[in-house]
Amino acid sequence: MSVVAKPSTSENIKDIYNIGEMPPLGYVPAKMHAWLIRPERFGKPTEAFQKEVVNTPTIADDEVLVYVMASGINYNNVWAALGIPVNVIAARNKAGEPEPFHIGGSDASGIVYKVGKDVTNVKVGDEVVVHCANYSRDCPWVKSGGDPMFSPTFKIWGYETNYGSFAQFARVQAQQCMPRPKHMTWEESAAYTLVAATAWRMLHGWGANEVKKGDVVLIWGGAGGLGSMAIQIVKAAGATSVAVVSGQDKYEYCTKLGAEGCINRGEFEHWGLLPHWKDNAGYAKWLKGVRSFGAKIWDVLGEKRAPNIVFEHPGEATIPTSIFVCETGGMVVVCAGTTGYNATVDLRYLWMRQKRLQGSHFANTMQANEMNKLALRGQLDPCLSRIFTYDELPIAHQLMHENKHPHGNMAVLVGATKLGLGASGKPPVTLEHPVMPKDDVHTTPHPYPMSMPLPSIAEAESVTIADDGTRVRELMHRGIIACAPTDTVGQVAKTMIDKDIHAVVVMEGGKAVGVVSQTDMVLARQGRTADQARVMLARDIMTPGCATCDADMLLSEAVSLMTGRRMHRLVVTQNDKPVGVLSMTDVVRKIIAN
Ligand code: NAP
């Protein structure tokens, strides 16, 4: 690896250099320019990010100081700027790191300026790209050969760690450094690593379901950051991809990258949570939608084949479709839930057809390097959609915050003085450079920050719950209106209408064995005539098991029970005997209308 950019001469030794003014190779100035986030200005990115001068960080024995030429922009530093859902600075301070600021940036291209004494894979002067998987080499799990992505020490560099790439110098572990593709500019090479390595693990990281020659892969968001990388990785594996996009204007972009063809998701309406499995009519309509979507896959392929892998990240809106269309024994692999996290799965398809729903997050060192070989061989277009100057870094994040940024990968110049520098030599293979349709911007809500720590059983901090102490007995309706399991639906309907109630408890041998709700009645009618529905029995349509709560239970707990199980009422018991009903209407009356 050689140095393409021209460093200053040795007479030019200073304590600090202007942005774009390169210190002599290997000379590390005491101070550096950086974009800093501080807790006192958490908020919108244009205010949270401020240019400051700080001490250049020192490095540990396994670390490297990289002179940053360009940096990639990712959503995680919008969250860092907002200070939600995690204050990354406070989290590090709590763990013993003293800096009261955050320097973000989880993608970079640059030049090695200093190496720790244990570093063997890079030397001063090497041009590198940096992946963001950061973990302790002393972790017993890692030492024993375990996947570092499962290590408790794993962190996303430039989000969970400090000294990312939004500064003249970035502090990284040597294992994060990978050779930089010479045919790319600084900004191109800064843009692809995070998304491409994530896509690589999703497609190559999961054993028997790894993408293979001849496989078919369905890729959601084919023109997006992850999707554009996935198409190219699938192509390199000798497999075939079908890309899903929101408009025909993106077809050419995806096919130029290597997709066999595209599907316009705008032509379908069956998105979101699955209809209730008892809802014959709703389920039939959903099946019609998902089957016609599946038929589009066949149209693209020219044969009736199902995808061996479905490359997922929209989540709640698309998971039911992904599970349905996936081949028997295939895998739906998911790394995000951009449209929501409560995805629904029809378990019958999962177990009967033995499909796999696999979570995946970023990539380990080996996988990032495998991905990078594609880039080095010229087989990976970085799909750079927009480039910003150093001064525009907060604007780039503000655009993301406001959902006004283009799809694909964005970069910001740091040490590079203008666009188009850094490329030396021709790419090993010539790729058609795809161009995104003009005016393409985001429509989806802000994704979850990369690696935001989830609450675990080891969480030490207690959670404060605001509760006014109201008990179920204060709100419930006393008395139970019941029916027998053998009563007909017609009889139950009459009881409901006569008594003006929303549900009837099914009692057998003095015990509540189920509830027939208005929803159950309506579901019984879905896909049947009124006469067919009327002669059904209460036990055929009731929701069995009867969710109960004790009259002394806190109202807040009862509400959690109902919302968690998607129910509108609970049977209230006292000494295990049914004594009343608590409905959502009662709760609304109390908490809103008062
Ligand atoms: P991106 O460039 O915004 O692309 C996302 C694509 O999803 C868009 O191009 C859009 O394409 C498609 N999409 C949007 N809404 C959709 C919907 N309702 N149904 C189906 N498709 C929809 O983002 P990205 O960089 O690819 O990242 C995608 C997600 O992965 C984000 O949430 C990101 O945070 C996450 N991510 C996770 C990791 C990880 O390691 N866990 C790493 C990188 C990214 P169309 O509108 O054309 O369909």
Q: Tens of pLDDT along 14-69?
A: 999 999 999 999 999 999 999 999 999 999 999 999 999 999 999 999 999 999 99
Measure 465 CA to ligand 1 centroid, in angstroms: 34
Q: What angle do CA 139, 60, 5 make, to 5 degrees?
A: 120
Q: Which residue has the higher pLDDT, 552 or 448?
A: 552
Cβ of 447 below 6 Å from ligand 1? yes
Asked which of 104-108, 131-135, 439-443 is least confident by mean pLDDT, the reply is: 439-443
224 lines ligand 1 (CB under 6 A): yes
Cβ of 198 closer than 6 Å to ligand 1, yes or no, is yes
What is d(CA 133, CA 450) in angstroms, rounded to the nearest whole number?
11
pLDDT > 90? residue 403: no
Which pLDDT score is estimated for 453?
Answer: 65
Residues of the chain above pLDDT 70, percent: 94
Q: Does residue 338's CB lie within 6 angstroms of at least one atom of ligand 1?
A: yes
> Could you tell which of 313, 383, 402 is best to mutate to test the pocket of ligand 1, judged by most ligand atoms within 8 Å of the CB?
313
Largest CA-CA distance found in the chain, in angstroms, rounded: 97
Residue 367 confidence (pLDDT) above 50:
yes
> Which residue is closest in CA terms to ligand 1's atom 5?
224
Say if ligand 1 is within 6 A of residue 226 CB. Answer: yes
d(CA 390, CA 151): 34
Is the separation of the CB atoms in 387 and 411 below 8 Å? yes
Q: What are the tens digits of pLDDT across the range 554-588?
A: 988 888 888 777 778 888 988 878 888 898 888 88
Looking at the predicted structure, is the pLDDT value of residue 363 above 70?
yes
CA angle 353, 266, 311 (to 5 degrees): 40
CA distances from 103 to 176, 362, 527 (A): 17, 20, 59
Classify 366 as helix, strand or coil: helix
DSSP state at residue 24: P
Please provide residue 52's backbone torsions phi and psi, each rounded to the nearest 5 degrees. Answer: -140, 170
- Residue 265 Cβ inside 6 Å of ligand 1? The answer reads yes
Long-range contacts of 208-212 (CB under 8 A, 24+ apart): 209/308, 209/309, 209/330, 209/331, 209/333, 209/356, 209/358, 211/237, 211/239, 211/308, 211/309, 212/237, 212/238, 212/239, 212/308
Strand partners, 288: none
Q: How remote is the CA of residue 447 from the centroid of ligand 1, in Å?
A: 8
> Nearest 5°: CA angle at 106, between 102 and 108?
115
pLDDT of residue 215: 98
Residue type, 171: R
- The answer to whether the CB of 287 falls within 8 A of the CB of 325 is no
Token pair recorded at residue 317: 């809106």
* pLDDT > 90? residue 380: yes
Report the mean per-residue pLDDT for the chain.
91
At residue 1, does pLDDT exceed 50? no
DSSP 393-458: HHHHHHHHHTT-SPSSEEEEESS--STT-S--S--SS------PPTT----SPPPPPTTPPPP-TT
Residue nearest to atom 7 of ligand 1 (CA): 221
Please, where are the H alpha helices in 34-159?
45-48, 76-82, 88-94, 140-143
List, in order, residues 6 or more apart from 370 with CB less than 8 Å away.
200, 204
List, for residues 251-283, the tens digit of each pLDDT value: 999 999 999 999 999 999 999 999 888 888 888
Cα-Cα end-to-end distance for the chain: 71
Reading the block at residue 181, the tokens are: 């593709």
Going from the C-alpha of 132 to that of each of 2, 56, 555, the distances in angstroms are 23, 20, 45
* Digit-coded pLDDT (tens) for 208-252: 999 999 999 999 999 999 999 999 999 999 999 999 999 999 999
Q: Say what the pLDDT of residue 457 is.
A: 66
Ligand 1, closest atom to CA 363? 40
d(CA 362, CA 382): 17
Q: What confidence score (pLDDT) does residue 4 get? A: 44
For ligand 1, atom 6, the nearest C-alpha belongs to 221
- CB of 451 closer than 6 angstroms to any ligand 1 atom: no
pLDDT for 465: 64
The band of 2, judged by pLDDT with boundaries at 50, 70 and 90, is: very low
Contact 537, 489 (CB under 8 A): yes
Asked whether the predicted pLDDT for residue 414 surpasses 80, the reply is yes
199 close to 336: Cβ distance less than 8 angstroms: no
Pocket flag, ligand 1, residue 162 (CB < 6 Å): no
Per-residue CA distances from 40 to 87, 193, 333 (Å): 11, 32, 39
Question: Cα(227) to centroid of ligand 1, in Å?
Answer: 8
Question: Residue 146 is encoded by which pair of tokens?
Answer: 């375990």
Of the pLDDT bands very low, low, confident and very high (cuts 50, 70, 90), residue 535 is very high
State in Å: Cα 390 to ligand 1 middle.
26
Q: pLDDT tens, 320-358? A: 999 999 999 999 999 998 888 889 999 999 999 999 999
Closest CA to 278 of 523, 531, 519, 488: 523
**In the chain, % of residues over pLDDT 90:** 73
49 in Cβ contact with 81 (< 8 Å): yes
Q: How many Å apart are CA 265 and CA 248, to the nearest integer? A: 10
Q: Note the pLDDT of residue 588.
A: 85
336 Cβ below 6 A of ligand 1: yes
What's residue 279's pLDDT? 84
537-561 residue pLDDT tens: 999 999 887 788 999 999 888 888 8
> Distance between CA atoms of 245 and 267, rounded to whole angstroms?
10
| Residues 173-187, mean pLDDT to the nearest whole number | 97
SS3 149: helix
**CB of 481 within 8 A of CB of 491?**
no
Q: Which residue's CA is the nearest one to ligand 1's atom 40?
A: 362
pTM: 0.87
φ, ψ of residue 90 in degrees (nearest 5):
-60, -40
The winner for highest mean pLDDT among 20-34, 413-427, 503-517 is 20-34
